[in-house]
A and B are shown apart, each in its own frame.
Chain A
Amino acid sequence: MTDFDKMTVSIEKLQANSEYTLEYDGGNVDEALFNSINWVSSNSLTWTAVKAEMDKL
Chain B
Amino acid sequence: MALTRLGPNQSVNLATNTTGNLNLASQVTGTLATGNGGTGATSFTAGKVLQVVTGTITNDNFVTSSTPATLLTVNITPSATTSKVFVTCAVQYNNYGNGSTSYPNGKCQILDQDDNVLVRGYGNFAGNVSTDQTDQFDSTIVLNNLDSPSSTSQQSYKLQYYAGAGRFGILGASTRLNGTIMTLMEIAA
Contact = CB atoms under 8 A, between A and B. Distances in A.
A8 B61 contact: no
A1 to B, nearest CB: 6
Interface string B87-113: 000000000101110000000000000
Given A9-B134, A12-B100, A26 B66 contact: no
Give the secondary structure class of B's interface. Answer: loop
Given A1-B134, A19-B65, A8 B60 contact: no
B173 A8 contact: no
Interface of B: 59-67, 69, 96, 98-100, 134, 167, 173-174
Given A21-B65, A24-B62, A41-B65, 12 more contacts: A5-B134, A8-B96, A12-B98, A12-B100, A13-B99, A19-B67, A24-B60, A24-B173, A25-B60, A25-B173, A38-B69, A40-B65
